[in-house]
Structure formats: C-alpha cells, structure tokens
C-alpha cells in the first residue's frame, strides 16, 4: 500500500469514526432512555419474540428458525445499504451505532414472516401470496405508522412500492435459501 492510498484509507476510517460519534451524540440528545420512542422500540423488539416463543412449532424449529434467520440477514443487508445511501433513515433507534432499525430487522419482520411461513406451510396455502400479504402489511401499514410517529423517513424518491418489491424479493430469496438447504439435508 503506497502512502497516498494509506492516507485516503485513513481519511475514510476517520470519517466512519466521526459519523459514529455524531450518531451516538444524536442518539443521546433525541433517542436515549428518557424518550418514549426508545421504550416503544424496546417493546416492539420484545413482544414479537415473546409471541414467537409461545407460537413456534417446536417440531420444525430448525427449519422455521433458518427461514427467519435468512429473512433477518437479508433485511439487515438491505436496510444497511438503504440507510447508508440515504434512501431512508430511522431518527429514533434503540442502538445508535447501527444504521438499521434493530426492532424491525431483528424481531418484527423475521417473526412475522416465520409465523406466516409456519402457518402457510401447515395449511398448504400458496407461499408467494402469503409473503406478498405480510410484505403489504409492513409496507402499507407498519411503515406509514412508523413514519407518522417520526420513526422512519424516506428520501431521494424512495417510495412504498419500491419497498414492497424489496420485501417480497427478500421473502422469495429466503424461501429459495431454505429450499436449497432442505434439499441438501435430504441428500445425506
């Protein structure tokens, strides 16, 4: 690595540090433990996990859990890219250094899709229709409520229809990942 490249990399790393410090300072000022939005995010993180604990089909826990983990990871990647490129933001967060909404990507969305997958596979209802339904609930009901509460903002032409495509594409990819691993498991 030459000196110019090293200097540019150090500048980028310092920019990350400065941005993280700015995020932490913003969090302390507007989103910390003394705000109702912080506690709402905590409740919205915990309630779905408690519901999942009681509703999860224990006989299929690994399959449903893998599916939920795939939804979670895809959501984190998309949410990180979207926030880093300034398509949307979460002005009030539970964890200030994460660009994503920890509540949505780690609890609400994965749990909703896991319970949908569990239900639709037991009832043998079309997966894609059910996934579109869950995506529509989050895109056209949950996110507008978050926006109304000033807990979610969209920028640069991003809209709910693009968000719906992202949610649905994530559900399709998670199902493909699950199907691939189920297939590999049957091969042993």
Q: Are residues 24 and 74 in the same domain?
A: no
- Arithmetic mean of pLDDT, 13-19: 93
Give the range of the structural domain holding residue 13, as residue numbers without chain letter: 1-30
Query: pLDDT tens, 158-186?
Result: 999 999 999 999 999 999 999 999 999 88
When pLDDT is cut at 50, 70 and 90, the band that residue 188 belongs to is: confident
Residues 46 and 5 in one domain: no
Kindly report whether the global pTM for this prediction surpasses the value 0.75.
yes
Same domain, 147 and 88: yes
Mean pLDDT score across all residues of the chain? 95
Q: How many domains would you assign to the chain?
A: 2
Which whole number is the average pLDDT over 60-70?
Answer: 96
Question: Which H, E and C letters describe the chain, residue by residue?
Answer: CCHHHHHHHHHHHHHHHHHHHHHHHHHHHHCCCCCHHHHHHHHHHHHHHHHHHHHCCHHHHHHHHHHHHHHHHHHHHHHHHHHHCCCEECCCCCCCCCCCCHHHHHHHHHHHHHHHHHHHHHHCCCHHHHHHHHHHHHHHHHHHHHHHCCCCEECCCCCHHHHHHHHHHHHHHHHHHHHHHHHHHHCC
């Amino acid at each position: 690595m030459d000196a110019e490249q090293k200097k540019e990399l150090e500048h980028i790393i310092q920019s990350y540090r400065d941005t993280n410090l700015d995020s932490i300072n913003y969090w302390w000022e507007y989103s910390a433990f003394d705000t109702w939005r912080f506690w709402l995010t905590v409740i919205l993180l915990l309630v779905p996990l408690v519901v999942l604990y009681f509703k999860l089909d224990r006989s299929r826990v690994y399959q449903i859990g893998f599916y939920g983990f795939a939804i979670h990871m895809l959501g984190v990647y998309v949410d990180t890219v979207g926030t880093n490129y300034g398509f949307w933001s979460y002005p009030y967060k539970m964890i200030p250094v994460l660009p994503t909404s920890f509540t949505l990507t780690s609890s609400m969305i994965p749990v909703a899709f896991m319970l949908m997958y569990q239900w639709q596979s037991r009832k043998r209802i079309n997966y894609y229709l059910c996934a579109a339904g869950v995506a529509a609930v989050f895109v056209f009901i949950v996110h507008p409520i978050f926006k109304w509460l000033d807990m979610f903002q969209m920028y640069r032409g991003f809209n709910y229809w693009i968000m719906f495509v992202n949610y649905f594409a994530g559900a399709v990819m998670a199902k493909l990942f699950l199907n691939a691993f189920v297939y590999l498991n049957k091969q042993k």
